[in-house]
A and B are shown apart, each in its own frame.
Chain A
Amino acid sequence: MTIRTEAGRALGAVAALLVATAIWLPCVSFAFRPVLEGYRQRDAIAPQARALAQRHLALWEDEAAREDEVGRMRESNAEWDFMGRTFLVLALANLALREPADEARYLATVDRIVGETLALERERGMYFFLMDYARRAPFLGVPPRSLFLDGEIALMLAARQLVARVPAYDAVLGERLEGVHRAMSEGPVSCAESYPDECWTFCNAVGIAALAMGEALEPRGRGAFIERWLATAKARLTDARTGLLVSSFTYNGRPIDGPEGSTIWLAAHCLALVDPAFARDQYGRAARELGCRLLGFGYAREWPESWRGAMDVDSGPIVPVLGASAGSSGMAVLGAAAFGDDEYLTALLGSLDFAAFPVTEDGRRRYAASNQVGDAVLLYALVQGPLWERARASRVR
């Protein structure tokens, strides 16, 4: 006679579900684990990166589609429109260096992006690319400028010139770099504002990278300022508990926010141009404090355990309990790729393919849960390398 009770059946069901969960959950990541060669290659353009690039190039060739995409981003954050341009220009510069045969096509799009960006800034003013709160108070620096804009415009122009110099851009770049240098050097902590009385490490690191690339193109003796900036950042803009650079601070150097993932991954990448050891240290600390893995999937926190910030437009939605941040995780892909952390990069790309809903149509790839700036960051992460190498090599000479 078989012994079977209702409780026994229920217990058996629960046990089966638990065992099945224990079997399946670790397997899910294997189904989405990417072959890294398909996404990032040392000396060529990997297939997934190429598909991402094709989609971006198509957007800049289809006015209506681009306006739709950019319009949606600007509803959330005008900065995303601007940053999407910067990251795409950097990506295209790297693509042109990786594939000289297609350099003309990539640089044509770079020139279109740069030209339109400068025109928009000229016609609509710097606030066009800033969030509304930029108007609530006056900038403290004179003249009032946002390093967020000037640094990234300088970076875009310098990237373009490092690939293939255009005489028409020399004066524009020179003027922009002069403005960045002046604004930063006149700041009490060698930093410039992105918003009134608000300096961001992200923007200042970009400014430093732009100055370094400017020195590679045409030395102007700004190396001493770059060294001074590094010394100040290490002494005054570093979180005591984690050793990470803080994300934002006042014009006088008082920290506003602690370390944040949406800032530090990119900042470390930019600083690799001027202080590789410090940059690698920052990446290592960020990876320890913010890098996470769960059942084979990788993600990044926005804040370390020792700092609790508020969810904002930079962090994007935060997954409760895990503390996973879409903004930080996206930038972590750049950090992991730039610093050769293939294990973490693979885990992050697996998460992207699992949870960001990739779409590939007609050889063009995008992520449905992302947007143009997110996809541009990803593309840049997968093709970066040659531009930084050229900038370093040119500075050494």
Chain B
Amino acid sequence: MRRAWNVLLSARAWCVVAALLVLAWAMAHGLGWRDDTRIISGTGVPSGGAVLRGVAYAVSYFAAVVVAPILVIAAGLRAAGGRVARGWGETGRVGRV
């Protein structure tokens, strides 16, 4: 459990999630679900499937455009932070020596 938690908090995991979010949106886009977003304007009486597709497209799009970059930036910050922390740790060891 602890190991899974550590993996989830890792910069690599965040990059993978970001890539999956972008991939999900690319798939929705490739399947042509963009046109089903007309539900946003209340156009037509859409089927349940059309509503699901429209919502899925919108959610995946905003996840790819807003959430994925945040994850990548955060992963970069964590990686940079990890390097800095390791540098401090070595300095501390040397200092004590």
* Interface set of A (CB-CB < 8 Å, partner B): 1-2, 4, 6, 9-10, 12-13, 16-17, 19-21, 23-25, 28, 72-73, 75-76, 80, 313, 316-317, 326, 354, 356-357, 359, 368-371, 374
CA–CA, A48 to B34, complex, Å? 20
Most chain A CB within 10 A, of B44, B69, B74, B81, is at B74
The answer, yes or no, to whether B40 is at the interface (CB within 8 Å) is yes
Complex-state Cα separation, A19 to B81, whole angstroms: 12
Q: Tell me, yes or no, whether B59 is within 8 Å of chain A by CB.
A: no
Asked if B42 and A76 make an inter-chain contact with CB atoms under 8 angstroms apart, the answer reads: yes
| A368–B38 CB distance below 8 A | yes
Asked if B20 is at the interface (CB within 8 A of a chain A CB), the reply is no
Main secondary structure of the interface of B (DSSP, over half): helix
Interface centre among B41, B78, B93 (most CB of A within 10 A): B41
Contact of B70 with A20 in the complex, beta carbons under 8 Å: yes
**Chain A residues closer than 8 Å to B86, beta-carbon distance:** 2
Of the residues B40, B58, B61, B93, contact of A326 by C-beta under 8 Å: B40
- What are the nearest 10 A-B pairs in CB distance? A2-B89, A20-B74, A20-B73, A72-B44, A16-B74, A369-B40, A371-B43, A16-B77, A369-B37, A13-B9
What's the Cα separation between A1 and B89 when bound, in Å? 6
CB atoms of A17 and B37 under 8 A apart: no
Complex-state Cα separation, A111 to B96, whole angstroms? 89
Q: Is the interface of A mostly helix, strand, loop or mixed?
A: helix
The reply to whether A28 and B66 contact each other, CB–CB distance below 8 Å, is yes
| Residues of A close to B44: CB separation below 8 A | 72-73, 75-76
Alpha-carbon distance between A4 and B6 when the two chains are bound, in angstroms: 12
Residues of A within 8 A of B38 (CB): 72, 368-371
Complex CA distance for A373 and B80, rounded to whole angstroms:
50
Provide the residues of chain A in CB contact with B57, threshold 8 Å: 357
| Contacting residues, chain A, for B23 (C-beta < 8 A) | none
| Bound Cα distance from A21 to B14, whole angstroms | 14
Contact residue among A10, A317, A326, A370 (Cβ-Cβ distance under 8 Å from B9): A10
B16 interface residue (CB < 8 Å to A):
no
**B residues within 8 A CB of A371?**
38, 41, 43
Q: Which B residues from 37 to 92 make CB contacts under 8 A with A?
A: 37-38, 40-45, 57-58, 61, 65-66, 69-75, 77-78, 81, 85-86, 88-89, 92
Distance A28 CA – B69 CA, assembled complex (angstroms)? 10
* Residue contact A24 to B89, C-beta cutoff 8 Å: no
Please determine whether A16 and B78 come into contact, CB atoms closer than 8 angstroms: yes
